[in-house]
Amino acid sequence: MKTRDLAYIALFAAVIAVLGTLPAVNIGPVPITAQTLGVMLAGSVLGARRGFLSVLLFLVLVAIGLPLLSSGTGGLAVFAGPTAGYLFSWPLAAFVTGWLTERFWARYNVAWGMVFNVVGGMVVVYLIGVPVLAAVANLSLGEAILSGALPFLPGDAAKAFIAAAIAAQVRRSYPVIERPQRAVATR
């Protein structure tokens, strides 16, 4: 892994962190915690491997005691809480999003990007987050879905769209996944 890849990984870990502290993108009345937007972005801008590592790095920063989650919390406490499953799902979510993005890179556009973000950033996240929620909180699976997935659907769909719009633009102006050298030369 080149130093450039490390810098990109560190950058997106920081992006996810800052998205937690600055709710800069507010669409509609529902305050969207923008951190899963960062997870989708990491996958769709950096690709599977670097996206996975950058989200993992973000979680490491949270674990070592930085208050980077959107609620201003951090430390190991959050990994013992009922929402731990969502956090653990994030690196995988970025990986799946990134893998799909790389696989269909030549045809990437906002619509496809949104599909990839939904599969990675929502399906994967709920598949892991909801059962863990049920286990830790002693809830049945149905109850966990009711309280841990349904309320987030509209917000997450909006984030999937925004992340796809950004990723499609970045792909046009500064593609990181494919031939980054040429993009730098023409900068």
Partner 1 sequence: MTLALYVPRRSLVHRIPAGGKLLALAALAVLLFAVPALPVTGAALLAVLAVGLGAARLPAATLARQARTVRWWLAGLFVFHALFSDLPTAALTVLRLLALVLAAAVVTATTRVTEMVAVIERLCAPLRVVGVRPARIGLVVSMALRFIPVLAERAERIREAQAARGGSARGLRGVRTTVTPLLVQLLQMAHTISEALDARGADDVPPARGRRSPAAA
Site residues, partner 1 (CB under 8 A)? 1-4, 6-11, 13-15, 17-18, 21-22, 24-27, 41, 45, 57-58, 60-61, 63-68, 71-82, 136-139, 143, 162, 165-166, 169-170, 173-174, 176, 180, 184, 187
Closer to partner 1 by CB, 65 or 103: give it: 65
Distance, CA of 97 to CA of 52 (rounded, Å):
9
Q: How far is the CB of 128 from partner 1 (least distance, A)?
A: 18
- Our CB check for partner 1 shows the closer of 69 and 128 to be 69
Q: Which two tokens stand for residue 65?
A: 């005691």
- Indicate the residue among 41 and 122 with the shorter CB distance to partner 1: 41
Query: Whose Cβ is closer to partner 1: residue 25's or residue 123's?
Result: 25
Q: Which residue has the tokens 């696989």?
A: 103
Nearest CA among 165, 90, 97 for reference residue 128: 90
For residue 137, CA distances in Å to 128, 130, 148 come to 14, 10, 11
Q: Distance between CA 132 and CA 178 in Å, rounded?
A: 36
